[in-house]
Structure 1
Amino acid sequence: MNRLFTILIVAAMVLGVAVGWGVHEYASPAGAKAVAGNLSIVTDVFLRLIKMIIAPLVFSTLVAGIAHMENASTIGRVGAKTLGWFISASLVSLTIGLIMVHLIQPGAGMHLVADPVAPGAAVDMTKFNLKEFVSHIFPKSIVEAMANNEILQIVIFSVFFGTAVAAIEDRAPAVVAVVEQVSAIMLKVTSYVMKTAPLAIFAALAATVSTQGIGVLVTYAKFVGGFYVSMLLLWALLIAVLVLIVGPRALKLIALIRSPALLAFSTASSEAAYPGTLEALQQWGVSRRVASFVLPLGYSFNLDGTMMYCTFATLFVAQAYGIHLTIGQQITMLLLLMVTSKGVAGVPRASLVVISATLTYFHLPEAGLLLILAVDNLLDMGRSATNVVGNSVAAAVVAKWEGQIEEPKTEDAVIANNAA
C-alpha cells in the first residue's frame, strides 16, 4: 500500500507539472488563472478535510497519551530525566529548523500573493502581546475552541482532562478505553483523508505551475534540499551528544539502528521501525526497563524530525507570501509547535495537521499548505528516519544517566529476554 501510494504521489506530481506547463505555455494569462481557479476546488476540499479532523484528532490522541503516563510519576527519576531530554531535544530541533530556513530562504523567490479577502492575507500584529497570548491559551469553552480549531486551547483542555483521567483510578480504564476508540476512529478517518492527497497534489502543482511557470520547481528543489541539509545537521548533533555522554561505544548503536532507520525511511513510517528499534537498543545494552519506557514515550513526545520540519515548512510558507514574522512571533511559534507537535504524535502525515493549525493561528495563508503538500511524502521519509535516530539517542542517554546500560546481547538473547 505504501509503495502504491508513493507511485500515485509521484504520478500526481508529474501529471500536475505537465498539465500546469501546458496551460502556462498555451493558454492566455486570464485562461491560466481561470484553470487555476477551477483546480482550487479540489484543493479547497482537501484543506477543509484537513481542518475537519484537527480538533477530535488532537483531543483523543493527546488524552490517550497522557492517561497512559500515569506510571511516569512512580518511576520518578527516569520519567523526569526522560521528559527533560525530550524537551531539550525538541527545542534544539525546532531551533535548527528556524535557523536553517532563515539561512537558506527557500521560499523567498516565489512572491506569491495571498487572497486579499482571506483572513490569512496578513498577520494581525495586535494579537502578539503577552496579555493577549496568555489569555488566548486558555479556552472559555472547549466547544468553541473545537469549532474554531483553536489548537492550543484544545491542547490545554486535553492536558487537564488527561491528567484528571489518570488520577481517577476507578474510572480511568473505561474512559481511557473510550478515548482510545475515538483515537483509533480518527486515525482511520485521517487515513481516508490522506488517500485524497494525490488529487490535491495534482491540483496544487497544476495550479501553481500554470500561473507561475516551470521555474517554480527550482524553489521546490531548494526547499527539499534545504530540509535534508538541516536534517543531516540534526543527526550530526544528536550523534555528537550521544558520543559525548556515552562514549565511543555510541557508534555501535548507530550501526545497530541503521536497519530500523532505513525501514522508517523507505516506508515513511517511524512506527514501522518500532520493533526493530527496541530490539537494537536492547542488543546494544539499554536495559529492558528503560528501553520499554523511553521508546514508547518518545514516539509520543520526541519526534525530532517532525518538529524541525514544522518550523521549516511554516516559515517557508511565510517567505513564499512575503510575510514577515518578528522575533517575538517566531519564538511564540517555537513554543506553540513544542506543544502542538505532541498532540498528534503517531498520526499519518501528522506534520500537515500541525502546520495547518499553526498557519491558522498565525493568520498565514492556509493555501500555503498546498505548497508543501506536493513534496511532503518525500520529506516524510527523512522525518521518519530522524524520529528513529532521535528516540534511540534518547533511550541510550537516559540509560547512561540511570546506570542501566548492560553488556551487549546477541539477537537471540534479546528475543528470549522479551519472551520471558
Structure 2
Amino acid sequence: MAKRLTFYILIGLVLGIVVGLVLNGLLDDGTPAAAARLKSIAGYFTIGTSVFLRLIKMIIAPLVFATLVSGIAQMGDTAALGRVGARAIGWFIGASLVSLSLGLVLVNLLRPGVGINLPLPPVTADAGVATAAFSLDKFITHIVPASMIEAMATNEILQIVVFSIFVGVAITAVGEKGQPLIRAVDGLVAVMLQITDYVMRVAPFAVFCAVTATLAERGAGVIGQLAYFMGSFYLALLVLWAVLLGLGFLVIGGRITDLVRYIREPLLVAFTTASSEAAYPRMLEALDRFGVPPRIASFVLPLGYSFNLDGSMIYMTFASLFIAQAYGIAIPLGTQIAMLLFLMISSKGIAGVPRASLVVIAAVLPVFDIPEAGLLLILAVDHFLDMGRTATNVVGNAVASAVVAKWEGGFDPREPVAIEPPHAPSGGPAPQAPDSLRQA
C-alpha cells in the first residue's frame, strides 16, 4: 500500500501542476474579471484539500492521546519519562539554534533581497497577518489544558500531550488496576491506525486539488518573480537537511540512510500537502518499522510538533533578513544575533497557530524597525515555501526520534519499509497494527 500511495501522490502532484497551469493559461487575460473567475475555480478545487485536512484533524487528537498513553505505560516508571523528555528537549533546543543560525548565515551569503525590483508597499501598510507579542505567562498557562475535551476539539497538541502524560503516569502508578485501560488504549491505537489507512487513500486527490488550486489562481509567473529567493531558501533547506542528517549520523551511524528510506512516504505527504498533521500518522508507523520503540516515538514526536520545527526556524531568520535586504535596510551583525535569539524565544509561543512562521515574523519585524508590510513580498509564494519547510520539519523530528531512541538503549528489529496490509475475507477481522504498537 505504501509504495502505491507514494506513486499515486506523485501522479496527483504532476497532474495538479499540469491542470493548474493549463487553467491559468487559458483563462487569465490580465483582467480583474479573469482573476475573479480563476479564484472561484480555485475555490472549488480547494474543497478537496480542505476535506482531506479535516479528515486528518479528525484522527490526530485520539491518535496522539492513545499512542502517548500507551508509550508512557510501556516505559514503566516516571524516571524514564523524565529522562526521555529532557533528552528530547535538549535536542530540540540545539536543533532550533542550528536552524536559526544557518538561516542567518546563508541569507547573508546568498543575499536574495539585494537589488530586488519588485515595487515595495508603503512602510505604513498592513501585511494582513494577525500578530501578538510573545507573552511568557500566556505561553505557560496555555500549555495546561482547562478541559481535555476542549483541547481535543481544537487539536491543541501540546495540551493533549500534557493530559496524556498525566493519564499515562497515573495508569502506571495504579499497577494491575490499570491493565484494562492499557489494553483498551492499545486497541484504540490499532483502530486509529486502521482509520489512518482509510484516510490516506484520499491523499493523492487532495494533493492534486491543492496544487491545481494554487497554480490556477496564481500561475507560474508568481514563482518566476521571486525565483531567486525561493531557490536560495530551498538551497538553505538542503544544507539544513545535510546538517541534521550529519548530526544524526554521528549518533546512530550509517542507519541514518535507512531512516530516510523509511520516512519517504510521510515526507512526500508533508511536502505535497504543506501539512505536518497530514504526515503525523504515517510518521508514527514509519518510525515503528524503522525500529524506534513506540514508547519513544509516541512521546518525542508530539513534543517535536510543538518545539522542533526546524524548517520553520530557518525560514524565520531567512525571510526576516530577506525583507530587510529588499528594503535596503542594513542590519549590524549584533542586531542580527539579537533577532535570532528573539525568534528563538517567540517561536515557542505559537504551537498550533495557522501559518505560524508568518505570524512570528510579522511580530518580530517592527521590533527591529523593519516594515511589516514587507511580508507582502513573500505572501504570494508562501505556499510553495511552506511545502519545503513542512517537509524539513518532518526530517528534523524523524532524526530527533531516532537519536533519542539510540540514547535510550537502541532500536527494535526493523520491519520492511512498506508493508502491504493483509486483505481479510469478507466479514473477517480488520488488519492489525504493527506488533510493536500492540504490545501492552
TM-score class, shorter-chain normalisation, is 0.5 to 0.7
Tell me if 1:151 matches 2:101.
no
Tell me which of 301, 305, 325 is aligned to 2:307. Answer: 301
Does structure 2 conserve the Cα–Cα contact (< 8 Å) formed by 1:302 and 1:390? yes
**In structure 2, C-alpha distance between the alignment counterparts of 1:13 and 1:99, rounded to whole Å:** 37
Summarize the alignment of residues 62-77 of structure 1 with structure 2, pairs less than 5 Å apart: 75-77=81-83
Corresponding residue for residue 41 of structure 1: none
Corresponding residue for residue 354 of structure 1: 360
**In structure 2, C-alpha distance between the alignment counterparts of 1:5 and 1:346, rounded to whole Å:** 28
> How far apart are 1:162 and its partner, in Å?
3.8
| Counterpart residue identity of residue 157, structure 1 | D
- Distance change in 2, residues 1:377/1:119 (3 Å): closer
Give the alignment's TM-score, normalised by structure 2: 0.61
**In structure 1, C-alpha distance between the alignment counterparts of 2:384 and 2:112, rounded to whole Å:** 16
Corresponding residue for residue 50 of structure 2: none
Does structure 1 conserve the Cα–Cα contact (< 8 Å) formed by 2:315 and 2:389? yes
> How far apart are 1:357 and its partner, in Å?
1.6
The 3-state SS of whatever aligns with 2:116 is: coil
Give the alignment's TM-score, normalised by structure 1: 0.64
Does structure 2 conserve the Cα–Cα contact (< 8 Å) formed by 1:114 and 1:365? no
Corresponding residue for residue 334 of structure 1: 340
Tell me if 1:252 matches 2:234.
no
Tell me if 1:417 matches 2:436.
yes
- Distance change in 2, residues 1:98/1:398 (3 Å): same
Corresponding residue for residue 273 of structure 1: 279
The share of aligned pairs that are identical, in percent, is 49
Q: Encode CA deviations 1:52-87: one digit per residue, 9 max, x unaligned.
A: xxxxxxxxxxxxx9xx99x99862111111000000
> How far apart are 1:8 and its partner, in Å?
11
Corresponding residue for residue 377 of structure 2: 371
| Counterpart residue identity of residue 279, structure 1 | E
> How far apart are 1:366 and its partner, in Å?
2.0
Structure 2, unaligned runs of 5 or more: 1-11, 32-64, 157-212, 422-431
Tell me if 1:115 matches 2:122.
yes
Tell me which of 391, 397, 401 is aligned to 2:403. Answer: 397
> How far apart are 1:218 and its partner, in Å?
6.0
**In structure 1, C-alpha distance between the alignment counterparts of 2:283 and 2:241, rounded to whole Å:** 16
Tell me which of 365, 387, 390 is aligned to 1:384. Answer: 390
**In structure 2, C-alpha distance between the alignment counterparts of 1:16 and 1:370, rounded to whole Å:** 25
The 3-state SS of whatever aligns with 2:226 is: helix
Task: Give the RMSD, CA atoms, in angstroms.
Answer: 4.1
Q: Counting helix residues as a fraction of each chain, which structure ranks higher?
A: 1
Give the stretch that moved more between structures: 374-383 or 84-93. 374-383
Corresponding residue for residue 36 of structure 2: none
Does structure 2 conserve the Cα–Cα contact (< 8 Å) formed by 1:303 and 1:345? no
Does structure 1 conserve the Cα–Cα contact (< 8 Å) formed by 2:292 and 2:401? yes
Summarize the alignment of residues 285-324 of structure 1 with structure 2, pairs less than 5 Å apart: 285-324=291-330
| Counterpart residue identity of residue 105, structure 1 | R
Does structure 2 conserve the Cα–Cα contact (< 8 Å) formed by 1:73 and 1:79? no
Corresponding residue for residue 180 of structure 2: none
| Counterpart residue identity of residue 269, structure 1 | S
Corresponding residue for residue 188 of structure 1: none
| Counterpart residue identity of residue 138, structure 2 | S
- Distance change in 2, residues 1:8/1:370 (3 Å): farther
Tell me which of 90, 103, 128 is aligned to 2:109. Answer: 103
Q: Encode CA deviations 1:228-268: one digit per residue, 9 max, x unaligned.
A: 11000111111111112111122111111111111111111
- Distance change in 2, residues 1:407/1:414 (3 Å): farther
The 3-state SS of whatever aligns with 2:91 is: helix
